[in-house]
Amino acid sequence: MIGSTFEYFRSLPGTNDYLRNLETVSPGHVVVTDLQTAGRGRGGHRWEARAGENLLFSFCITVATADSTLSLLPVLISLSVCEAVDPSGMLSVRTKWPNDVVCREKKLCGILIESGVRGSLARVVVGIGLNVNQREFLPEIEGSATSLALLTGVPVDREILLGKVIDELNRVLFHVKRAEAVRRYMARCTTIGRLVSFDYEGNRRIGDAIGIDELGRLLIREAEGVRVYSGSEVTHLRSHR
Ligand code: BTN
């Protein structure tokens, strides 16, 4: 169960790195901090977040490599965050495939999933950076980032929110049927129904994102047929909804 054990630090280089460097760690262990001095995002980017204003945490889980859950993790984790912060859907918090959480095209939450395989088991560290009360962002991301406080106009209690996100992670990962989670993810996914560009075998290609499969891979319709895409990133070009 996620959150069965818990550590809090006022400051850390990064919560993912902290967990990755532990010799032994019990599954479900959560580490949370108010400030990261070397927070990491996907693709080698830095993750910058003002001290004490956001949710910055990581947890560890063990998954059998043969289990489809491993490839579905981006879907399951981003769906959990969406449902925790916007249970009714009133804020229109959406997923951007594979695992960004966005609202009105701006990023609300980034998720960094890193796994190391030992035999038939993968030890997975999941890091979540959720913009909560930060209202001003660095100039380079100002136009593309948002926070819950900006969306709702009111400050949000980070401790209560952390509890809600962890509850939702436990529910989606351990109690919701995979097919139902995929269906709910698709209903929230802003990538589906878009023209997207993506890298495939060194070439930039373009197609219509039409769905995701049971392993969380994006289905993209091209002139030659439907491609099952398991890369890590697509660019949204336009909506045709
Ligand atoms: C992304 O690039 O979208 C992923 C960002 C992930 C940031 C979180 S913050 C907590 C955890 N610790 C890190 O160093 N990164 C993740």
Give the pLDDT of residue 240: 47
Q: Is the pLDDT of residue 30 over 70?
A: yes
Atom of ligand 1 nearest to the CA of 109: 3
Which amino acid, one-letter code, is at 189? C
Give the pLDDT of residue 241: 47
Atom of ligand 1 nearest to the CA of 16: 12
Kindly give the distance from the C-alpha atom of residue 41 to the centroid of ligand 1, in angstroms, as a whole number: 4
Q: What is the pLDDT of residues 76-135, one digit of tens each?
A: 999 999 999 999 999 999 999 999 999 999 999 999 999 999 999 999 999 999 999 999
Residues with CB under 6 Å of ligand 1 are 14-16, 36, 39-42, 45, 47, 56-58, 100, 110-112, 127-129
Kind and range of the H or E run holding 32: strand 30-36
Scanning the chain, the segments in alpha helix (DSSP H) are 15-21, 69-85, 148-152, 158-174, 178-188
Q: What is the pLDDT of residues 33-70, one digit of tens each?
A: 999 999 999 999 999 999 999 999 999 999 999 999 99
Phi, psi dihedral angles at 224 (to 5 degrees):
-85, -10
Q: What is the pLDDT of residues 197-216, one digit of tens each?
A: 999 989 999 999 999 999 99
30-36/6-12 β-pairing? parallel
The residue whose C-alpha atom lies closest to atom 9 belonging to ligand 1 is: 129
Report the residue count for the chain: 241
Atom of ligand 1 nearest to the CA of 38: 14
Kindly give the distance from the C-alpha atom of residue 182 to the centroid of ligand 1, in angstroms, as a whole number: 23
Atom of ligand 1 nearest to the CA of 42: 2
The CA distance from 192 to 108, in Å, is 19
The CA distance from 226 to 220, in Å, is 5
Q: What is the pLDDT of residues 156-197, one digit of tens each?
A: 999 999 999 999 999 999 999 999 999 999 999 999 999 999
| Mutation to probe ligand 1, out of 9, 12, 40, 126 (largest number of atoms < 8 A from CB) | 40
Q: How would residue 239 be classed by pLDDT, with cut points 50, 70 and 90?
A: low
Atom of ligand 1 nearest to the CA of 107: 3
Report whether 57 contacts 32 (CB < 8 A): yes
Report whether 214 contacts 180 (CB < 8 A): no
pTM above 0.75, yes or no: yes
